[in-house]
Structure 1
Amino acid sequence: MSIDHQQAFGGTGAIRAGHGFDVEALDAWLTANLPGYAGPPTVTQFNGGQSNPTYRLDTPGRRYVLRRKPPGPILPGAHAVEREYRVIAALSDADFPVARPLALCEDAGVIGTPFYVMAFVPGRIFWNSTMPGLDPADRAAHFDAMNATIARLHTLDVDALGLSSYGKPGNYFERQLARWSRQYREDVDAGRNEHLDRLIDWLGANTPPGDETTLVHGDLRGDNFMFDDAGPRVLAVLDWELSTLGHPLGDFTYHLMMYRLPPDVLGGFAGAELATLGIPEEADYVAAYCRRTGRGGIDALDFYLAFNMFRFAAILHGVKGRLIRGNAASATAQSLVDTLPKLARIGWEQTGTR
């Protein structure tokens, strides 16, 4: 059964079971550590997001956003909100569109897990990648704004940002494949999938030669772009949990998956009448990114897309494990987990192997 992504993931609601915390303790910590803060806060939880629970804090004079590690057992190295805080602080200083970070608490004793607080950015998130409600010309402009923002990210000077130690340069695909394969195999609660098992072997044997290193976001879905309500301007790129130093083509083609996935899998638009909608054809969208980043084109495009479908399927596999263990961050986690088998199959189809 398909779901209305805007209705399911947009906005906030009551704090979900198992995701509550001591609001008085938070209020006391913010009073002591966040200049200009004046509580108490009213706390609601954002409906979107599958990994780090995210909350809206409404105080008498201001709104904030809080992101924390999920409660309960987590895999080593996952949900590193401290890294998120570091990267958005660097990007904010460089005037790249992110929510301004305000305070980081690494003491799990305050609300049960480390957390950080950032400025609330009022704007518009399209949880459906076809951006319903826009006319074709406006939709085309919004897609172009996403494309330009991604290209700008991939041309930032990592050393100038102070992020030269933010990840390991080189061998990005080998390292990512090792990481997600390991997390997939270690999460025994979630079981195994035939297509993911086959993809691990195929990707390892078909990695393209050559390498590049830039800052990469790691989860450039359309719903991680906050747009100005008034038009096609990106106000903030959200959810930097998976950011690192990596290969820009891996990052861009993750975003490109929307062209190859159907509406019932992560809200893709494969098979849609793109010209009628005002959405650029995949080849034109790729060409725009290449023009902005000084590339002649993207070889081995099918490898990159297969890699990213495997990677996202591995992420959903982790959501499945957290769901089984009772600490999934989203109320709609089950609906996403239900798409895992189909996503894994489509990922295998990108290889052209029977």
Structure 2
Amino acid sequence: MEHEKVDREFRIMRALKDHTDFPVPTPYVLCEDPAVLETSFYIMSFVPGRIFSDPRLPSIPASQRGAYWSEATRTLARLHATDFRAIGLGSYGKQGGYYARNVRSWARLERQQAQVRDVDTGEVVGSLERIDEQVNWFEKNEVEDRVCVFHGDFKFDNLVFHETEPRIVAVLDRELSTIGHPLADLAHFTQSFYWPYPYGFVNAPPDFDLAGIPSIEAVQREYVETLARLVPQDSKLKMEWPIEGWDYAVAFGMFRRAVIAQGIHARLFKRQANSTFAAQRIVMKKVYNDIVLHYVDQSKPQTASQPKL
């Protein structure tokens, strides 16, 4: 599996570097000989710059933060607009059915993890609250299918900005990249707008500095407008604002995170996870799950709103 991930990362970086001007490090060589380092690896160029772990960008003056968010949003749209077939990535992933396939996969994993027992007490991890209702909601309200080059973990701490300018010089970490649905990437990138304080921006107090950060609506509009300029007029990737199916995309992203947090809970019960780290993620499991249930209860998956948590 690790070999496949390394090979895939190298492949997409090579395709983007050779055939587009998308900002990626230069991939030099892929080594698949286990005699060298006992595992596959690749060598890429070092790209100097700045990486921000906090989407509030506290080290950047408030008057400039919008420019950094705009650059990130436009860069994601550029990736999605790339003609993946034309650059040799036609077989990089299944072309269609991203949400249906992943709802099934994550639901199956959730059921497996729920049965894990604590090695000492015998306590079970347990299912996410109202999991069957969640899965039914996703299946009933699935959004229109679209396909694009999909990053899988597009966020600020995977972006290298120029040393002095609000310009991205490299996008990193394509471990989860595939051919997927553009809304899943965009919703993942903007999750801070939906997490409650202190994890995200919802219900944040005045001293939680959000000055200069654009609204979620502004980010959506910039993405939609940029994508429209980059793809052919008849492209199925083109979309209107408000984005149809946006709530579904946000809810799915939170569902995925809740299952991941449940998995950390399961590893803790098996004594395979650091207890302090795991405890923090177990708390987040309920945060993520509550956001999903907000959308399930709202029963209006086609509107773009924030959960009032």
Q: Same fold (TM over 0.5)?
A: yes
Structure 2 distance, partners of 1:349, 1:100, is 43
Residue pair 2:56, 2:209 contacting (<8 A) in 1 also: no
- Give the AA of the match of 2:155: R
Which one of the candidate residues 119, 123, 135 is aligned to 1:200?
A: 135
The gaps in structure 2 that reach 5 residues or longer are 118-124, 229-238, 300-309
Q: Mapping of 1:251-262 within 5 angstroms?
A: 251-262=185-196
More strand by share: 1
What is the deviation of 1:139? 0.5
Which one of the candidate residues 194, 201, 209 is aligned to 1:269?
A: 201
Residue pair 1:303, 1:351 contacting (<8 A) in 2 also: no
Count of residue pairs the alignment pairs up:
275
Which one of the candidate residues 206, 212, 224 is aligned to 1:278?
A: 212
- Give the AA of the match of 2:195: L
What is the deviation of 1:332? 5.0
2:31 counterpart of 1:86: no
| Structure 1 residues 176-233: Cα deviation after superposition (integer angstroms, max 9, x where no partner) | 212222333334548343237242232122212x321111111122222121221211
**Alignment-derived partner of residue 11 in structure 1:** none
Structure 2 distance, partners of 1:326, 1:115, is 29
Find the residue that maps to 2:81 and give its secondary structure. Answer: coil
Which one of the candidate residues 160, 164, 175 is aligned to 1:241?
A: 175
What is the deviation of 1:133? 1.5
Structure 2 distance, partners of 1:292, 1:350, is 28
Q: Provide the TM-score with structure 2 as the length reference.
A: 0.78
- Give the AA of the match of 2:169: L
Residue pair 2:194, 2:201 contacting (<8 A) in 1 also: yes
- Give the AA of the match of 2:67: A
CA distance 1:315–1:119, shift in 2 (3 Å): farther
2:78 counterpart of 1:146: no
**Alignment-derived partner of residue 246 in structure 2:** 301
- Give the AA of the match of 1:116: Y
Which one of the candidate residues 95, 111, 117 is aligned to 2:43?
A: 117
Residue pair 1:322, 1:328 contacting (<8 A) in 2 also: yes
Residue pair 1:193, 1:341 contacting (<8 A) in 2 also: no
Structure 2 distance, partners of 1:263, 1:293, is 31
Find the residue that maps to 1:117 and give its secondary structure. Answer: strand
RMSD: 2.9
Structure 2 distance, partners of 1:335, 1:135, is 30
Residue pair 1:129, 1:269 contacting (<8 A) in 2 also: no
What is the deviation of 1:343? 1.6
2:291 counterpart of 1:346: yes
Q: Provide the TM-score with structure 1 as the length reference.
A: 0.69
Residue pair 1:302, 1:351 contacting (<8 A) in 2 also: no
Structure 1 distance, partners of 2:39, 2:110, is 24
What is the deviation of 1:95? 2.5
Residue pair 2:161, 2:167 contacting (<8 A) in 1 also: yes
